Every structure is written in C-alpha cells, then in structure tokens.
Amino acid sequence: MLEIKDLRAAIDGKEILKGITLSVKPGEVHAVMGPNGSGKSTLASVLAGRETFEVTGGSVSYLGEDLLELPAEDRARKGIFLGFQYPVEIPGVSMVNFMKTAINEQRKFKGMDPISASDFLKLMREKKEIVEITSSLTNRSVNEGFSGGEKKKNEIFQMAMLEPKLAILDETDSGLDIDALRIVANGVNKLRNKDNATIVITHYQRLLDHIVPDHVHVLYKGRIVKSSGKELALELEEKGYDWLKEEN
C-alpha cells in the first residue's frame, strides 16, 4: 500500500533523508529504529505532508497514488495518520470541537453528511474506552496541560476516532509508564486488521513485545542501513547501534 523509492528530503538546504526505499503491505507492522537525529521523525513528517521539508528526490506511492502531490489534509482523509512524537498544545480549541471537525471533514471528503450529535458522542465514548482515557481529558483544549503520557494516549485516541489505513506512530511509547504502554499497545492492536498497516518508530524493544513487527528497519544518517525481522530489535537492544555505524 505504501511504496517509498529513493526518497530524499531537505530542510534549509540541508539534506536529511538521503534516499529511503521502503515497501509496506496491508496488514503489516514495520518498526523503524535508529539513533537520535537519524531522520525518523523527518520521514514521518514527509509522509504526513509537512511542507517545511522539501522533497528533493524519489517518489512515494500510496494506494497507487502519488502521495507527494497531496496536501497534508488530503493524505489524512485518505487514511494516513501521524502519531506525533511531540503532540502540539492548542489552547482554545476543544478536543470535542477538534475531533468533530476532523470527523466531518473526513466525511465530507467521502461525500457523507456530517455526523449526528448522538452518533458523535457514542463514537467518542467507544473510542475513549479503547485507550482508557477519561472525559476530563477530552473536555479540555487539545493537549493543553496534558502530561507527556496523556499526550501520547491522546494520539492513539485520535487514531481510534479516525480509523486510518496507514498509521505512523512516532515514539508513541516514549514517556509512557508500564500500564500506559500496555494500553497504547492494546489500542494499536485492537485497531489492526488485514487491510491497514502500521509504522512504529521506537527506540525500545519493549513496545515491540506488545506490537509485534513483521519488519524492523534501522535508519542512520538519512538511510535505511539494515532491514530484517523482529529479531533485529532484540539484537539492537543488546548491542546498540555502534556495530551498524561502523559498517556504514
């Protein structure tokens, strides 16, 4: 469903992604790992359509369409979801209004009528249960004053609300306590099916105990320097990245 070919991206003339090739099929989970600053979040942002990064080469096709041609909102409407490493606080925009607007924009795109008030409330209730977040959070402004862990749970809540086809989760596990990690992982697993795919960006094996990946990739200096099965994550946990850095 996602074909990334030799993707290059730069910011302020500085090349950060230096030729990434990656193929994701429906039903798969891919883990992307790699040292700090290697370009993982940049890859996620470019896929989600962030214009601050300039695509300098390569191609990305998503469900047979040229993804790079689409503005961020259209990508989201077509099923791409980015779980932010650093979710943004938006004072004054309520979670409820935010989610209702997002759902309705998605529905409009599909030619559907706006969701009814009661259906929306039902949907909210249902999805809140999946990620075990309380109304005290969803009654507030988007991420405003949320703790680090609460912000991450809120990302999964939004993902549950929007039911994406391709979810890219950027370090959704960092800053989570053990219970929260389990909840988030369960949330992701509950939403998995044979038609959708997930890319999880993480530094830790422990998330991958819960969300078992089909493929693990190591990103280093803007390139994928190693791809393998789930055992690669264990190897990295044990040996660190130095052996890979030396090879490259």
Ligand X SMILES: Nc1ncnc2c1ncn2[C@@H]1O[C@H](COP(=O)(O)OP(=O)(O)OP(=O)(O)O)[C@@H](O)[C@H]1O
Which residues here bind other proteins, judged by CB under 8 A? 48-50, 52, 71-73, 75-77, 81-82, 84, 87-93, 97-98, 101-102, 105-106, 109, 141-142, 158, 162
| Cα distance between residue 4 and residue 147, in whole Å | 34
Give yes or no for a contact between 123 and 175, defined as CB atoms under 8 angstroms apart: no
Stretch that binds Mg ion, among 10-18, 34-42, 180-188, 232-240 (CB under 5 A): 34-42
Structure tokens at 43: 């890859």
Residue 42 sits in the site that holds ligand X (CB under 6 A): yes
Query: Which of helix, strand or coil describes residue 227?
Result: strand
Site for ligand X in 69-88 (CB under 6 A): 85
According to CB under 6 A, which one of 16, 159, 168, 176 is a site residue for ligand X?
A: 16
Give yes or no for a contact between 156 and 172, defined as CB atoms under 8 angstroms apart: yes
Structure tokens at 46: 């470019």
Stretch that binds ligand X, among 10-18, 98-106, 121-129, 233-241 (CB under 6 A): 10-18
Nearer Cβ to other proteins (38/143): 143
Helix ranges restricted to H, 95-230: 95-109, 117-131, 135-138, 148-162, 178-191, 205-210
37, interface contact from ligand X, Mg ion, other proteins, none, CB < 5-8 Å by kind: ligand X
Residue 198 sits in the site that holds Mg ion (CB under 5 A): no
Query: Which of helix, strand or coil describes residue 78?
Result: coil
36, interface contact from Mg ion, other proteins, ligand X, none, CB < 5-8 Å by kind: ligand X
Q: How many residues bind Mg ion (CB under 5 A)?
A: 3
DSSP string, 93-123: EEHHHHHHHHHHHHHHHTTPPPPPHHHHHHH
Stretch that binds ligand X, among 1-9, 39-47, 122-130, 209-217 (CB under 6 A): 39-47
Return the residue matching tokens 């929306």.
Answer: 120
Strand order through the sheet with 29-33: 80-83, 166-170, 197-201, 29-33, 215-220, 223-228
Query: Min. distance of Cβ 1 from Mg ion in angstroms?
Result: 23
Residue 41 sits in the site that holds Mg ion (CB under 5 A): yes
Nearer Cβ to Mg ion (37/240): 37
Nearer Cβ to ligand X (40/127): 40
Give yes or no for a contact between 149 and 180, defined as CB atoms under 8 angstroms apart: yes
Residue 38 sits in the site that holds ligand X (CB under 6 A): yes
Within 10 angstroms of residue 165's Cβ, the number of other Cβ atoms is: 17
146, interface contact from ligand X, Mg ion, other proteins, none, CB < 5-8 Å by kind: none
Residue 85 sits in the site that holds Mg ion (CB under 5 A): yes
| Interacting residue ranges for Mg ion, rule: CB under 5 A | 40-41, 85
> Which residues are near ligand X by CB under 6 A?
11-12, 16, 34, 36-42, 52, 85
